[in-house]
Amino acid sequence: MASLDRFRNLCIIAHIDHGKSTLADRLLELCGAVDPREMRAQYLDSMDIERERGITIKLQSVRLEHQGHTINLIDTPGHVDFGYEVSRSLAACEGAILLVDAAQGIEAQTLANCYLALENDLEIVAALNKIDLPAADPDRYAAEIEKVLGIPANEILRISAKTGEGVEDLLNAVVERIPPPEGDPDAPLQGLIFDSHFDQYRGVISSVRVMNGTLTTGARLRFVQAGAVYNAEEVGVRRPDPTPIASLGAGEVGYLIAGIKDVGEARSGETITTAAHPAPALEGYKEPKPMVFCGIYPIDGDEFPTLREALEKLRLNDSSYTFQPESSGALGFGFRCGFLGLLHMEIIRERLEREFNLSLIATAPSVQYVVHKENGDVITIDNPSELPPATEVAHIEEPYLRATILTPTSYTGTLMELCQNRRGEMIKIEYLSPERMELVYELPLAEVVTDFFDQMKSRTQGYASLDYEPSEYRQSNLVKVDILLNAVPVDAFSMIVHKDKSYGYGLRMTEKLKELIPRQLFDVPIQAAIGGRIIARETVKAKRKDVLAKCYGGDISRKRKLLEKQKEGKKRMKNIGRVEVPQEAFVSALRLDD
Amino acid sequence: MIQSAGSPAFGAYVHVPFCTKRCDYCAFATWTDRSHLMDEYVDAVCIDIKRTFASHPDRVATSVFFGGGTPSLLPAGDLVRILAAIPRVDGAEVTVECNPDTVSLAMFETYVAGGVNRISFGVQSMVPEVLESLGRTHNPESVGAGVLAARAAGIARLNLDLIYGGAGETVEQWRHTLEATITLGPDHVSAYALTVEAGTPLAEDPSRHPDDDDQADKYLLADEMLTAAGLLNYEISNWASSGQECLHNLLYWDQGEYFGFGCAAHAHVGGRRWWNLRTPDRYIAAVSTGDSVEASFELLDVGTRRIEALQLALRTRGGVPVSSLSADDRDELGPLLVERDGRLHLSLEGRLLANEVAVRLR
């Protein structure tokens, strides 16, 4: 067996647009891993959505050879929704490349991941990227990294992944500074799964780090947390093309195919061992816990079975979302889904629409509330319609986050105002450097999932960055605002909000709906109500004119077709309290960016 | 002229696709730059008429309608030459649409000699600013002069076409238009809500689009004033003194049969609807080579024909059978309907919401 000395396992910690994919491309080229003719930009980005959005949720891991050393490059997801996955990736490594844009400085989430890496005793090789940009200011940001992370500025490399400048130095530094892995090759097998995805031909393909022992092709494996047994059908490494090998030794990183049909059986954090000589589970495993919930409905009710099938299929690929059927008077049959965060929700929704050719409506995102009832019962709800009548509710608790914002100092005021508007409680405010500030707030999750991130970006021209971690549940003065159409509540528009914000929500929704609901044969009141109390009201006045002025020889066919169209349109509308509501009204009213 | 009283109702429509100026709300097949084609066009229409009637020797027109465009732009002699080519019964109703700008006593005398007995004036408004905003070239005085000239030539049946609800027109201006119109003593008035047609300059300018509530108010005012003047509503946009309803238009609403001559003209015979080539150039070319002038057609199946008949009848005073709406729909539509003599009719309010009723017909 080869000595572990020549192995290096590392990950890249970087903010979304700081050049991670470009650096990966250069490393592949430098190590001769990809034939130049087959090279394409963002080579390791696996999903179309990633390439299109120019963001990387997760790169494929890859094995590179450099001057007699074998380097396993493991990625960490670049978004706060996937914090747990980051921790599992870090657990598979001895070191990390910290990649920071030399024109922007370190971002909040990168900093958080770096702290996590330091807690895990990872060696950090820091590099300032994009030094070819006119706006690059590497001296300033090197000083900042030194201040916040204690990495000496003179050890921070300066590279341009785009031009290739300094990339070889970086590779050399990785080999020099990051220690080789340790592990007992003679102990029973302990392997850490840190990523799994579903391939329609091969089933689940997992990335695995062997901690102790040997993972051998053909071995009978026990998946400790899932409590399942599978055969190791194929073990291999990605160079980056998958290459089967006989076995992976202690300290090595590779992939495993074991005939698994559901990624839920091989989640990040899972421990594998052999059925013959089982070892105990590795530490740190957690079940993914959805934090943001919404209803997802097909625009065309006939597509409900297709949606169910799509959710089941996609879950083979991403077991971190949940779904269960629900029905809505306004939207028909759909599913209540739970997600790790807002981006996760957007990605799943977009994949459902794109990969399964569906048109969907999503209700406003909700969080999970703990409701204490007068009779002493405690229930958990993630859908406003499940909230018991106010008379039965003693109090409600909502989840809070601890949010860290890094920002140029000039935006401190506007960000403090934003956090205050969102019911935030300041925990800390500190200068990172004369130009940059760190703000730490406790914020209700519900206030963050509406459009906090967009607001933060627009108030700071995109310069501020955000990281958060779940904090605690706190008691809040929460009420449910119902929206009534012709005196009938429309469940899709009900929302649990803080009492101080209930009037604003009611006003906004009634005004919005007044514009969206076409005039009917009668006056339609649109009301916002808390319990039985009306807090806002608008009226869509009865329509008075809907007639074709002229109908002569040349008009008859055309007008008949117009009427047929009008008739078809009526069929597609939902009837709520005798009011005909077009689907588009729901779609527009539920859109967040108002 | 054929002396055959008691012939079944049959119409002939003649399209005249020439105007001096295009109104910016107009989506009709008309051109301002093709007057050099007039002679050829008149010849082509005459040939088309002769060929068509030759292959349908049993057809005789009980009504003829010259529409446009601006039929009065044709030299009067040419217009009556076309009319002469159309086999028609004695006393057939013959209407010509006229722009008040383009008429004269001499012209009307030629018309009368040729058999024209009804004139429809494109008045639109009697307020200069409103006429200007509609892009019309005439002034209110020319309407009065035109009416006098027509009467002097012996034409008793006069229709005045009005348009209401253009941007900027006040209710008082509309009232003035109605008063001035009634003062001229026509036996027929058509009043149309200005409609935004796709592809027109008006469609491109949402700031000038009409307001439904304003148009509803103006419709109610029109009905009130015209009724008081003895003109009774007999179709959504048409009012006439008793017995002076336009027979040609009644034919359309009765799903009757008619030929259409000239470019873009529509025809309906035996459950088949068809329409001619849209431009005068192509129409002339087709006639000269002996090709068909038909652009396209549709065949109505029994079910479609039945629903269409109800939709058309609903617009008229005749109404529809009670059974053509379900009891639930009758209930829901409530005040939009009036039941009389075992039939359903649109109430005044219902006329303004006729589409809501029409889409429920069964």
Residues from chain A that touch B312, judged by Cβ atoms under 8 A, are: 551, 556
Q: Is B54's pLDDT higher than 90?
A: yes
Q: Is B5's pLDDT higher than 60?
A: no
- The residue-averaged pLDDT of B4-24 equals 88
Rg of chain B in Å (alpha carbons): 20
**Hey, what CATH topology would domain A480-590 get?**
Alpha-Beta Plaits (3.30.70)
pLDDT score recorded for residue A47: 53
Domain B11-253 matching CATH 3.20.20.70: the answer reads yes
The verdict on pTM exceeding 0.90 is no
Closest residue in A to B211 (Cα–Cα): A545
Residue in A551, A557, A563 closest to B359 by CB:
A563
Residues from chain B that touch A549, judged by Cβ atoms under 8 A, are: 192-195, 236-237
Choose from A519, A540, A547 for mutation: most chain B CBs within 10 A.
Answer: A547
- The residue-averaged pLDDT of A153-181 equals 95
Alpha carbons A345 and A79: distance in angstroms, whole number: 13
Q: Do A556 and B353 touch (CB under 8 A)?
A: no
B16 reaches A (C-beta below 8 A):
no
Residue in B194, B304, B355 closest to A547 by CB:
B355
Closest CA to B98 of B159, B14, B50: B159
Q: How many CA atoms lie within 13 A of A569 on its CB side?
A: 14
Lowest mean pLDDT among A370-384, A415-429, A555-569, B44-58: A555-569
- The residue-averaged pLDDT of A525-544 equals 95
- The residue-averaged pLDDT of A474-492 equals 94
pLDDT score recorded for residue A85: 79
Q: Do B193 and A544 touch (CB under 8 A)?
A: no
Q: Is A503's pLDDT higher than 70?
A: yes
Residue in A545, A552, A570 closest to B359 by CB:
A570
Residues from chain A that touch B237, judged by Cβ atoms under 8 A, are: 549-550
Six token digits for residue A214: 């040997």
B247 reaches A (C-beta below 8 A):
no
Q: Is A87's pLDDT higher than 90?
A: no
Q: Do A545 and B212 touch (CB under 8 A)?
A: yes
Alpha carbons B27 and A5: distance in angstroms, whole number: 83
Q: How many CA atoms lie within 13 A of A114 on its CB side?
A: 23
> What residue ranges do the domains of chain A occupy?
4-177, 190-274, 292-363, 369-476, 480-590
Alpha carbons A401 and A441: distance in angstroms, whole number: 8
pLDDT score recorded for residue A44: 66
Contact B150, B142 (CB under 8 A): no
Kindly report, residue by residue over A352-385, the tens digit of the pLDDT: 998 899 989 888 889 999 999 999 999 999 999 8
Q: Do A545 and B264 touch (CB under 8 A)?
A: no
Residues from chain B that touch A554, judged by Cβ atoms under 8 A, are: 264-266, 275
pLDDT score recorded for residue A46: 55
CATH architecture observed for domain A369-476: 2-Layer Sandwich (3.30)
pLDDT score recorded for residue A478: 95
pLDDT score recorded for residue A88: 85
Give the B window 312-351 contacts with A, CB below 8 Å.
Answer: 312, 315, 332-333, 336, 351
Measured in residues, chain A has a length of: 594
Alpha carbons A286 and A269: distance in angstroms, whole number: 7
Q: Is B1's pLDDT higher than 70?
A: no
Residue in A543, A548, A570 closest to B212 by CB:
A543
Alpha carbons A301 and A316: distance in angstroms, whole number: 24
Q: Is A54's pLDDT higher than 50?
A: no
Q: How confident is the model at residue A197 (pLDDT cuts 50, 70, 90)?
A: confident
Q: Is A234's pLDDT higher than 60?
A: yes
Q: Do B311 and A567 touch (CB under 8 A)?
A: no
Q: Is A42's pLDDT higher than 70?
A: no
Choose from B63, B124, B336, B356 for mutation: most chain A CBs within 10 A.
Answer: B356
pLDDT score recorded for residue A375: 96
pLDDT score recorded for residue A451: 80
Residue in A552, A554, A560 closest to B311 by CB:
A560
Q: How confident is the model at residue A1 (pLDDT cuts 50, 70, 90)?
A: very low
Q: Is B4's pLDDT higher than 60?
A: no
How many residue contacts between A and B have a Cβ separation below 8 Å?
A: 87
Q: Do B265 and A553 touch (CB under 8 A)?
A: yes
- The residue-averaged pLDDT of B260-289 equals 96
Q: How confident is the model at residue A8 (pLDDT cuts 50, 70, 90)?
A: very high
Q: How far is CA A13 from CA A72, A74, A100, A468, B239, in A?
A: 14, 10, 9, 16, 80
Residue in A553, A554, A566 closest to B355 by CB:
A566
Q: How far is A568 from chain B (nearest CA, A)?
A: 9
> What residue ranges do the domains of chain B occupy?
11-253, 306-358
More confident residue, A76 or B98: B98
**Hey, what CATH topology would domain A190-274 get?**
Elongation Factor Tu (Ef-tu); domain 3 (2.40.30)
Q: Do B308 and A560 touch (CB under 8 A)?
A: yes
pLDDT score recorded for residue B13: 98
- Main-chain dihedrals φ then ψ at residue A561, nearest 5 degrees: -65, -40
Alpha carbons A58 and A51: distance in angstroms, whole number: 11
CATH among 3.10.20.30, 3.30.70.360, 3.90.600.10, 3.30.70.870 for A292-363: 3.30.70.870
Alpha carbons A453 and A424: distance in angstroms, whole number: 14
pLDDT score recorded for residue A322: 93
**Interface predicted TM-score (ipTM) of this complex, two decimals:** 0.93
Alpha carbons B252 and B12: distance in angstroms, whole number: 11
Alpha carbons B290 and B283: distance in angstroms, whole number: 11
Closest residue in A to B298 (Cα–Cα): A557
pLDDT score recorded for residue A593: 52
Count the helices and strands in chain B (H runs, E runs). 13, 15
**Hey, what CATH topology would domain A4-177 get?**
Rossmann fold (3.40.50)
Kindly report, residue by residue over A109-162, the tens digit of the pLDDT: 888 888 889 988 999 999 999 999 999 999 999 999 998 899 999 999 999 999
Mean of the per-residue pLDDT values of chain B: 95
pLDDT score recorded for residue A544: 95
Residue in B249, B266, B352 closest to A545 by CB:
B352
Domains A292-363 and A480-590 share a fold: yes
Q: Is B3's pLDDT higher than 50?
A: no
Give me the residues paired with residue B267 across strands: B274
Closest CA to A362 of A164, A586, A80: A586
Percent of chain B with pLDDT over 90: 92
- The residue-averaged pLDDT of A185-204 equals 90
Kindly report, residue by residue over A388-403, the tens digit of the pLDDT: 998 999 999 999 999 9
Alpha carbons A542 and B107: distance in angstroms, whole number: 49
Q: Is B77's pLDDT higher than 90?
A: yes
Alpha carbons A354 and B294: distance in angstroms, whole number: 45
Kindly report, residue by residue over A22-39, the tens digit of the pLDDT: 898 898 888 887 777 777
Q: Is B2's pLDDT higher than 50?
A: no
Provide the greatest CA pair distance for chain B: 59
